[in-house]
Amino acid sequence: MKLYHLTSAQYAISNIALRRLKVARFGDLNDPFELLAAEQSDRKFRRGIKSWKDDYQKSKGLLCFSESWVNPVLWSHYADKHRGMALGFDVADIHVERVNYVKDRTQVRFENDDPEKGLSLSFVEELLRTKYVHWRYEGEWRALVSLNESTKEDGKYFNYFSERLVLKEVIVGPYCEIPFKHIKKLTEEIDKNIKTMKAKLGFKRFEVVQNLKYK
């Protein structure tokens, strides 16, 4: 499956050169409702959900992808206002889950309908990939990553490219200040099969498209 990770130019160059992606932590994401999609008007459920979230994010992180790179809002929010890059990966289907975008909060579900037995597994899996419908423009897919299986440096976790995460494309943002030829040289030194292209703002639609002047 081809998916895209948008980021700033600085981080993109680091990702390419070191062949890895930074693992995101749930508590650092820009959606404050991450893992909190459940309706929590009942105080005791509220405490339980928060406790579960705090425990879960101590051991798990995620890699975030979009199913397309043409949406200009993605570039504005995640690629340094079009100065960054989009990295295109072939990702193993079994490695990622599509985010489900919903209008209303979901109801808490317990194992065998018994609060004493904790949250049901299906409900937990739902929380991991549920976001408010207004985030739908992201077209997000996410891969859950165990922190104990990732590389830790200076308090940050990284997941290295592998047969499940193969870099195939580098799309350089319309306003990226790093010369295209330098980026293309870097990708060719790493793998000549990586397709490197320059992007521009489309003339016909509200899209970011390939700039064919750059080869």
What beta strand segments (E) does the chain contain?
2-7, 20-22, 60-66, 85-91, 97-98, 100-102, 130-132, 140-146, 151-153, 156-160, 165-172, 195-201, 208-210
CA atoms of 95 and 1, how far apart (whole Å): 10
- Mean pLDDT for the chain? 94
Map 165-212 to HEC letters. Answer: EEEEEEEECCCCCCCHHHHHHHHHHHCCCCEEEEEEECCCCCCEEECC
Give the model confidence (pLDDT) of 27-71 as tens digits. Answer: 999 999 999 999 988 887 788 888 889 999 999 999 999 999 999
Give the model confidence (pLDDT) of 114-135 as tens digits. Answer: 776 778 888 899 999 999 999 9
Task: Specify the pLDDT at position 47.
Answer: 81
Residue 76 has pLDDT above 80, yes or no: yes
Give the model confidence (pLDDT) of 162-178 as tens digits. Answer: 999 999 999 999 999 99
Task: Specify the pLDDT at position 110.
Answer: 80
Overall average pLDDT of the 107-111 stretch: 83
